[in-house]
Amino acid sequence: MSKTTAFQGARIFTGDTWLNDAVLLVEGGRIAAILDEPEGLGEAEVVTLPKGSVLVPGFIDLQVNGGGGVMLNDAQTVEGIATICAAHARFGTTALLPTLITDRVDITGATIEAGIEAARLGVPGFLGLHLEGPHLSVARKGAHDPSLIRPMEEEDLQRLLDTVGKMPVLMTTVAPENVTAEQVDILSGAGILVSLGHTDCDADTVLDYAAAGARAVTHLFNAMSQLGNREPGVVGAALEEGMLHAGLIADGFHVNPITMRIALAAKNGPGRIFLVTDAMSTIGTDLEGFTLNGRQIYRKDGRLTLADGTLAGADIDMLSSIRFVHETLGLPLGEALRMASLYPAEAASMASSKGRLAPGMDADFVILDEALDLQATYIGGVEVYTA
C-alpha cells in the first residue's frame, strides 16, 4: 500500500480557486484528496508548511531550449535532458518540453532517440520534446540558422510519426512556407501538437492551417507577421481563432507590456495565451554567453542576443515570468499561475492529469512563500528541489 502524505498549513490554489486551511493528500504520485480541514488524516505522514506558504500547481513550460549550462542542441542525451529538467525545477517547473532549435537531420534524430529513452526512464519533469524547425521561413528566421531551414520531406514527416506513443507530448513548430496543410493534417491526426511559428504568412493561411489541425502559435508576436490595419497577419489570426493556443515570452524584452495586455484582452477562446520561457542554457548559471549552431550568443542585462542584436531565446525562468505578468501587467495571481500551469496543460492536451490540483491528478506542485519565492518543488509527490 502506498504511503499517504498530508500537506497542511499553506493556502492552496487548485487552479480553479483558493482554499484556506485545506489539506492536500498525496498517494502513489497522485493527489488522493483535498480536505477542507486538517482532521481525519489517519496514518498519513503530515508535512506542516511554514506560515504564509502558498501551494500551487506545478509550472508547465512548452518551450525550453536549455538550462543548467546545457543546450539541447549540444546534448542530445538523456543526461542532457535530465540536466535541463533539474535546472528548471529550481524555479517551479514540474513538466517541460526540451526544445531543439533548427539543426541537422542527425541531431534531430539523436534528440528524438534521447527523448524516447528519457520517457522510458521517467526522467522527472520530462513531458516530451518540442522540435522548433527546421521547416520554418527564412524571412522570419530569428536566431535560427538559415542554412539549415528547409521544406518538410516525406522522411521528415515519417520521423515525427514514428515517435507517436513513445513520449507523452511531441510538439513541432512549422511554417506554412515549408510545410503543407496536408502534412499538418497528418501530424495532428496522429496526435502531434503542431504549432505555427517563424512564418511570414497571412491570416487566411493561418486559419487554413488551423482548420487542418494546427493548434498553437509559437512565441506570439516574435518571428511572425504582425497585426496590421488591412492584413491581420499571424498575430491577428492567433488572437481571433479560438482553436489556437499561443505561447508568450513575458520577459519585457520580447513583447512590450502594453502589447501583452492588448493580446490578453483580445484573445478568443477556448484557446488561451500561456507562458513559455524560451529559456537557454544560462538558466541557473552565471554564464556570460554560449554558442548556438557555431554562433556566439551574448548575455547582458537580462537579454540574450546574436552579435547583430537579434534576440536569441530568453534569459528568464517560469517563476519570474509569473511575477512579471502578475506585478507588471497587474493580472490576479491566480490567473498568472494558470498561464503557467492550466493553460499550457490544455494546449498540450494534458489537462486531464496536469495543470490543476484535484483528486486523481499528478502530484506536481510548488510551494512558495509570501513573497512568491520558491521553497520547494514536487514532481509526482516527490520533492525534487528545496530552497
Confirm whether 369 is a catalytic residue.
no
Quick one: CA dihedral 25, 30, 34, 35, positive or negative?
Answer: negative
Is residue 136 a contact partner of residue 197, using CB atoms and an 8 Å limit? yes
3 state DSSP class of 111: helix
348/60 Cα distance (integer angstroms): 10
Is residue 283 a contact partner of residue 66, using CB atoms and an 8 Å limit? yes
Is residue 292 a contact partner of residue 74, using CB atoms and an 8 Å limit? no
3 state DSSP class of 15: coil
Backbone φ and ψ of 34, nearest 5°: -125, 115
Is residue 171 a contact partner of residue 213, using CB atoms and an 8 Å limit? no
Q: Is 254 left (phi over 0), alpha (psi -120 to 50) or beta?
A: alpha
Instruction: Provide the residue type at 123 as one letter.
Output: V
The residue from 156, 278, 315, 362 that is catalytic is 278
3 state DSSP class of 78: helix
Quick one: CA dihedral 247, 335, 238, 365, positive or negative?
Answer: positive
Tell me the CA distances in angstroms from 245 to 26, 28, 45, 62, 195, one per residue in order.
31, 32, 40, 12, 9
Taking alpha carbons only, the member of 222, 245, 248 closest to residue 233 is 222
101/311 Cα distance (integer angstroms): 14
Q: How far apart are the first and last CA of the chain?
A: 30
Q: Which residue has the cell 510548488?
A: 366
Is residue 246 a contact partner of residue 224, using CB atoms and an 8 Å limit? no
Residues labelled catalytic:
278
